[in-house]
Structure 1
């Protein structure tokens, strides 16, 4: 791309095309601004401007470039998918299709159990939450003869073997374990292959037996987009059983690992019927959790009525909840550079695992950018907002023990030097190059 070609591009608001600025086209801030203006043009059905920005981005952000270029390409792809989905900018979609449609087709991998276990171990993205919550759970269940774990996790029970191993190692008299797994009915990465949850449960039962622990396994379907009737009905039965068994020293653990952000952050009616415009550049504020009857708040209050021994909540410290597309794009762009950057430190270019890893990130970006309503399930909220929700549901935060914090640091020694952890009041945070990535919090009934 030469300077004469660049000067033929129609100028757009806030973007300088003087020769002094031409060298900044590959700068990450420039890429973000290009994406912002492309998103605005698509929302305003400005096909001409959209095509011009697309042409520039196609030249500076190849899908096999450095991590900033790959990140930008993933967002550009998501914007094209959005344009095609909402039926605007047909010329834009046709142009992208003519250039290289194969690059727009997303192929997410379905893992075998062994592949998924190895995949999860590649980074501390999930291992951090596993390690922190295992420590909090072990501290909470000491002295109980029965431990019932209700597991809300997006990684298909990958935490459970580490928890079983920790219980077998640390507790002199291992308790009877009851494991109730909430199985997501929607397909979200990472995805399992054809292995059923009954088969997965049998593997866990056999593994626990090999560690001299008795494990009972059951699974319930969990669809964040439905009315929760089935799940809440089950939880009510669970509450009655727990109250009857409380005298027999049964601990009830609710373990939430990066799944609760799939619950809509508004009421279902709000999401389905909302006519909020998405192309306003002025309003970037998300709705306050107390400004509507939130499905998340209702869910947490239902959990509170179970009177659990402890609730562990782990999730990504990001905010993808804005109803404004541009604000959501900016927030996601300034968070999701992290997994792309980390990929360059531990996965060789062209490897299958890197393809799988980045395809899962692309899926997340597409869901955040291209979809609305019930189809947009990636609705992360920052730690502070979850803290507010938990306190509103009448929970009280408890601190992670020093041994748990030390175990997290030892786990991070297995990974690249950019990873770190820090304590923030009662909570633990995973960081990458000083930026918050994942938070872990622990709660008991107030």
Structure 2
């Protein structure tokens, strides 16, 4: 269980009446969190009473009140809610408790990093020292096996690969630009697919973005030069000729260096089919709410976001196909409470799903939940350029794509069939649905990851 009480003595915890007041979910006006609450100093909450509040909705409400207390520097309320959450949400509990524990840790870290609720600084320092996220460094083989455990990434791989294979049918030169957070783990399957074409495999030029400014998991324990050498050898074993190129990029410049290098490569290599495969990486490009970046970036016109500017530049290259796969959530709100609500109501999914494929206490489960915890901490505890997890929903990305000169492509029944076959290898809770022309991965009916494909209009 997380223990935040060592360095700072807590005030008497909230009594049951106080918890009931906190957890009212109606829209009636409530007292200011900085004001005088009638339950302060009342009866201590018993373990039995605390257990009655151990539901996802109650824990979400308590987290929201804890966030508000931190932001308003209400130390008394913050410490009391901290005591309650610390007792009802152990980090080794059920999926809702582990989810809540991760958000609690992120909020305590926020108090330390933003300087809000200064009385919790010592608590945060202690928590950071004891509960630092130890992200695993994967070998290429371990990462490939790890990704195969869940369709979270495999869904996008399967959908994009099917669309790419159809788009380059019969073309002898294919230039694939892989913008991915999973270090080219999609590529072996795509190479296999292209190697088995009836007309024979194409020559493949694979360009990757050497993203260096975010330490987002999963982390690879080798350089991209080593990874590229392995991929080239793998392609050779499938009788596919391939060239591997790494372009250093930084999301804060909206991958400007990537676009310029691609433009140069196009001048050198005419006749290539340019495929841009975007797998859960575009949301690292800062969006409109990062005012500090928008005000210091010399771009024109200034009203366009860096995401829109990148897509416009991408469209100018005349790509044969662009695939965009990402998580269907919105983490762009300026205030932490709205981000907390959105993240809590989306990130319960990986905690719920992991119980179906990894046993409690397993090493791989620790790696998996540490990665989710990193995302939660970045969304909640960080601000400005450090907050890189800025997801947008499918509809917003579709608006951006259409506004910058792309039109959507419907996934064929063959592509949908490939995705469904892949999902059959996983737990029954995973599903797929068509969303207009696109595909959506679901968990127990809830949207998880979208897959879209785009052509120049």
Shorter-chain TM-score above 0.5: yes
CA deviation profile, 1:292-337 (whole Å, cap 9, x unmatched): 4110000001110000000000000010011121000000000000
Matched, 1:201 2:223: no
Q: Is the 8 A contact 2:165 2:194 kept in 1?
A: yes
What CA distance in whole angstroms lies between the structure 1 residues aligned with 2:16 and 2:128? 26
What CA distance in whole angstroms lies between the structure 2 residues aligned with 1:68 and 1:217? 43
1:278 is matched with: none
Shift of 1:116: 0.5
**Equivalent residues in 2 for 1:37-436 (5 A)?**
37-95=65-123, 103-186=130-213, 187-193=215-221, 195-226=222-253, 228-241=255-268, 245-246=270-271, 250-266=272-288, 269-271=291-293, 292-436=303-447
Q: Is the 8 A contact 2:50 2:84 kept in 1?
A: no
Unmatched 5+ residue regions in structure 2?
A: 1-11, 25-38
Compared CA separation, residues 8 and 431, structure 1 to 2 (3 A): closer
2:29 is matched with: none
Q: What is the SS of the residue equivalent to 1:180?
A: strand
Instruction: Tell me which of the two structures has the higher relative contact order, counting C-alpha pairs closer than 8 angstroms and 6 or more residues apart.
Output: 1
Matched, 1:7 2:15: yes
Shift of 1:271: 4.6
What CA distance in whole angstroms lies between the structure 2 residues aligned with 1:59 and 1:272? 42
Compared CA separation, residues 329 and 291, structure 1 to 2 (3 A): farther
Q: Is the 8 A contact 1:308 1:444 kept in 2?
A: yes
Shift of 1:48: 1.2
Runs of 4+ in 1 over 6 A off after TM superposition: 17-22
Q: What is the SS of the residue equivalent to 1:236?
A: helix
What CA distance in whole angstroms lies between the structure 2 residues aligned with 1:76 and 1:337? 14
Q: Is the 8 A contact 2:112 2:125 kept in 1?
A: no
The alignment covers a number of residue pairs equal to 421
Shift of 1:101: 5.7
Shift of 1:268: 5.7
Shift of 1:375: 0.3
Q: What is the SS of the residue equivalent to 2:182?
A: coil
2:8 is matched with: none
Q: Is the 8 A contact 1:319 1:380 kept in 2?
A: yes
Of 265-274 and 378-387, deviating more is 265-274
Of 220-229 and 56-65, deviating more is 220-229
2:63 is matched with: 35
Q: What is the SS of the residue equivalent to 2:240?
A: coil
Unmatched 5+ residue regions in structure 1?
A: 275-289
What CA distance in whole angstroms lies between the structure 2 residues aligned with 1:240 and 1:367? 39
Q: Is the 8 A contact 2:13 2:84 kept in 1?
A: no
Of 400-409 and 230-239, deviating more is 230-239
Q: What is the SS of the residue equivalent to 1:323?
A: coil
2:6 is matched with: none
Q: Is the 8 A contact 1:267 1:294 kept in 2?
A: no
What CA distance in whole angstroms lies between the structure 1 residues aligned with 2:89 and 2:134? 20
Q: Is the 8 A contact 1:149 1:178 kept in 2?
A: yes
Q: Is the 8 A contact 2:51 2:88 kept in 1?
A: no
Scaled by the length of structure 2, the TM-score of the pair is 0.87
